[in-house]
């Protein structure tokens, strides 16, 4: 460890504050799974609040810390902790139709974080909405659709239309995440290093 200013920074450039933020957001994603899941349609993919945590991780922490928080969360589920909604583990999710959606969380957070850094320090709400929708809906749906094609007998059209049931809830998550991110960046400028 080296001393930089008053913060201790590891060789990877991660301070104790960064690690705490990563841990808090991994815990937030886990907590958002507590209300459970609602499975709609015939795909077997549940509607959960956890994607709200994924969007928030990218929009609030940025690409590096946000992606790390999601990766930590997924790693915990892969070692067997039942942190996914409905008490599922990562291995259970990867073996089922929701595999692509879970995998899509990492690139979604990365894209949201990278693009959010470009609109700071002002964080215009319209651009925030577009960025969060791109990562939190488009990217996750692309990965989810591919996962459905690989894990189910659905055709391309059916796999794509399966996503339609998620759109209203995901749009609401995008709006909530944008409002929260705007407030956080106004109160704590410099949270994402640009």
CA distance 24 to 173: 19
Q: Is residue 176 part of a domain?
A: yes
The tokens describing 98, both together, are: 């929701």
CATH of the domain at 137: 1.10.1760.20
How much is the pLDDT for 41?
59
Average pLDDT of the residues of the chain: 90
- pLDDT digit string (tens) for 158-173? 999 989 989 999 999 9
- Each residue's pLDDT tens digit, 98-155: 999 999 999 999 999 999 999 999 999 999 999 999 999 999 999 999 999 999 999 9
Would you place residue 40 in the very low, low, confident or very high pLDDT band (cuts 50, 70, 90)? low
Handedness of CA 89, 98, 104, 36 (dihedral sign): negative
In a domain, 3, yes or no: no
Is residue 192 domain-resident?
Answer: no
39 within some domain = yes
Buried b (16+ CB within 10 A) or exposed e, 23-36: eebbbbbbebbeee
With respect to residue 40, please indicate whether it lies within any of the assigned structural domains.
yes
pLDDT given for residue 1 in this prediction: 43
Residue 96 lies in a domain: yes
Q: Flag whether 1 is in a domain.
A: no
Into how many domains does the chain fold? 1
pLDDT-derived band at 176 (thresholds 50, 70, 90) equals: very high
In the block, residue with structure tokens 């994402």: 192
Per the structure, the complete domain to which residue 60 belongs is given by: 14-185
Indicate the pTM of the whole model: 0.89
Flag whether 120 is in a domain.
yes
Kindly report which listed range (17-21, 75-79, 94-98) carries the lowest average pLDDT score: 94-98
- E-state strands within the chain: 2-4, 7-9, 38-39, 46-47
């Amino acid at each position: 460890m080296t001393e930089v200013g008053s913060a201790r920074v590891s060789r990877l450039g991660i301070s104790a504050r960064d690690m705490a933020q990563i841990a808090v957001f991994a815990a937030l994603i886990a907590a958002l799974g507590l209300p459970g899941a609602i499975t709609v349609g015939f795909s077997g993919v549940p509607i959960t609040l956890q994607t709200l945590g994924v969007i928030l991780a990218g929009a609030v922490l940025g690409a590096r810390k946000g992606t790390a928080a999601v990766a930590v969360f997924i790693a915990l589920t892969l070692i067997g902790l039942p942190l996914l909604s409905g008490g599922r583990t990562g291995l259970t999710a990867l073996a089922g139709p929701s595999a692509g959606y879970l995998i899509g969380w990492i690139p979604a957070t990365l894209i949201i974080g990278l693009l959010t850094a470009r609109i700071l320090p002002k964080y215009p709400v319209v651009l925030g909405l577009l960025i969060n929708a791109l990562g939190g809906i488009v990217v996750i749906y692309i990965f989810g659709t591919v996962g459905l094609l690989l894990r189910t007998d659905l055709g391309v059209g059916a796999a794509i239309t399966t996503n339609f049931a998620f759109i209203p809830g995901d749009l609401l998550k995008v709006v909530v995440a944008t409002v929260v991110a705007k407030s956080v960046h106004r109160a704590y400028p410099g949270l994402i290093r640009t």
